Amino acid sequence: SMTKVGIIVGSLRTNSFSKQVADNVASLFPEGYVTEFVEIGHLPLFNQDFEGDLGTPAEYTDFRNAIKELDAVLFVTPEYNRSIPAALKNALDVASRPYGESVWNGKPAAIISQSPGALAGFGANHHLRQVLSFLNMPVVQQPEAYIGSVHELLDEKGNLNEGTIEFLQGFVNEFVELIKKY
Ligand code: FNR
């Protein structure tokens, strides 16, 4: 059956560069793979009281179930103040709980950071790596995907230029190799 790769975009912005990059990458997976965007913007801010008196929000249950069904997760994120956006950290926290029941556990992952700037979201990329290591997710190590000056690589239709696509195809191929090991 099909291998299911969830794509989580770290930006909630309608015309997000991260989303545009993710749309391009979604089409680079080989036969036998299906990609699915998993939304994070509607998740209430994590509050541990949801594990007690307040009860579990339906959005949490649906999100955890959606992650549980994935074979792998691709993160495409911008950098906010040299780290990952709060919405992304919130989603990571939500699906890591209750204690001992994290649905991230053991799922292979890959990270693409992007920025209109030159540093290409390096800080966000590595802060995310730190979190995924604790969540016990094997992450593609090489090649690393830092997409800088992203606005210059996308055309009006949201298509990335040929060189970037070629690079990202190699990145996806390595991700597929990692997924096959798990
Ligand atoms: C930014 N931006 C930014 N860029 C960067 O390279 N390093 C950074 O630390 C930050 N910090 C930052 C904080 C906040 C709160 C915002 C809103 C933006 C700029 C950011 O890269 C730019 O807005 C991107 O377009 C965001 O990605 P999306 O929304 O296009 O996917």
Q: Give me the domains of the chain, ranges plus CATH numbers.
A: 3-50+57-180 (3.40.50.360)
- The pLDDT tens digits of the residues spanning 8-22 come to 999 999 999 999 999
28-40: average pLDDT: 98
40-65: average pLDDT: 97
**Residue 10 CA, ligand 1 centroid: distance in Å:** 11
Residue 110 sits at φ, ψ, to 5 deg, of -145, 150
- The pLDDT tens digits of the residues spanning 104-149 come to 999 999 999 999 999 999 999 999 999 999 999 999 999 999 999 9
Atom of ligand 1 nearest to the CA of 116: 21
Nearest Cα residue to 82 out of 48, 120, 116, 52 = 120
Q: Measured from the CB, is residue 17 less than 6 Å from ligand 1?
A: yes
**Residue 120 CA, ligand 1 centroid: distance in Å:** 10
Sign of the CA dihedral 42, 67, 122, 135?
positive
Is pTM beyond 0.90? Reply is: yes
With contact defined as beta carbons under 8 Å apart, do 68 and 105 qualify? no
**CA-closest residue to ligand 1 atom 12:** 80
